[in-house]
Amino acid sequence: MSAKVMIFSSVHPYDDSRIFHKQAKSLARNGYRVELHAIADFDEKVEDGVKIVGVRRVNKKWKRLKIGWELYRRALRSGADLFHFHDPELLPWGVLLAWRTGCPVIYDSHEDLPKQIQTKPWIPGKLRCPLSRFVQVVEKGLARRLAAVITATESIRNQFKKVKRVKVIKNYPLSMPEIDRKDDGITRILYVGGVSYLRGYREMIEMMDYLPEALQAELHIIGPLQHIAPEDQNRTELEQKRICLHGRIPFAEVQKWLAKGKVGLVCLHPIENYRESLPIKMFEYMAAGLPMVVTDFPLWKEIVESSNCGLVADALNPKDMAQKVEQILSDENLRRKMGADARKAHEERYNWHVEEKKLLSLYKELLD
Structure letter (DSSP) for residue 9: E
Q: Which helix (H) or strand (E) holds 354?
A: helix 352-367
Best CA proximity match to 251, nearest among 25, 49, 5, 10: 25
- Rounded Cα distance between 242 and 240, Å, is 5
- Give the 3-state secondary structure of residue 308: coil
Q: Would the pTM of this model clear 0.85, i.e. be above it? A: no
- Rounded Cα distance between 364 and 362, Å, is 5
Q: Could you read off the pLDDT of 243-298 as tens digits, one per residue?
A: 998 888 887 788 889 989 999 999 999 988 888 889 989 999 999 999 999 999 99
- Rounded Cα distance between 288 and 240, Å, is 28
Residue 335 CB burial class (10 angstroms; 0-12, 13-18, ≥19): middle
Computed over every residue of the chain, the mean pLDDT equals: 90
Question: Is the separation of the CB atoms in 95 and 76 below 8 Å?
Answer: no
| Predicted local distance difference test score (pLDDT) of residue 294 | 97
DSSP for 207-235 reads HGGGS-GGG-EEEEEES-EEE--GGGG-H
Q: Are strands 225-227 and 195-196 parallel, antiparallel or unpaired?
A: parallel
Where are the domain boundaries for CATH 3.40.50.2000 in the chain? 4-172+352-367, 187-348
pLDDT under 70 in the chain at which residues? 1, 59-64, 112, 114-125, 135, 227, 229-235
Question: Is the separation of the CB atoms in 330 and 296 below 8 Å?
Answer: no
Question: Is the separation of the CB atoms in 51 and 80 below 8 Å?
Answer: no
Best CA proximity match to 95, nearest among 72, 61, 66: 72
- Rounded Cα distance between 67 and 57, Å, is 9
- Rounded Cα distance between 320 and 259, Å, is 25
Q: What single letter denotes the amino acid at residue 76?
A: L
Q: Are strands 105-109 and 148-151 parallel, antiparallel or unpaired?
A: parallel
Question: Is the separation of the CB atoms in 219 and 205 below 8 Å?
Answer: yes
| Predicted local distance difference test score (pLDDT) of residue 253 | 85
| Class for the domain spanning 187-348 | alpha beta
Q: Could you read off the pLDDT of 16-51 as tens digits, one per residue?
A: 989 999 999 999 999 999 999 999 999 999 999 999
Fold of 4-172+352-367: Rossmann fold (3.40.50)
| Distance linking the first and last C-alpha atoms of the chain | 14
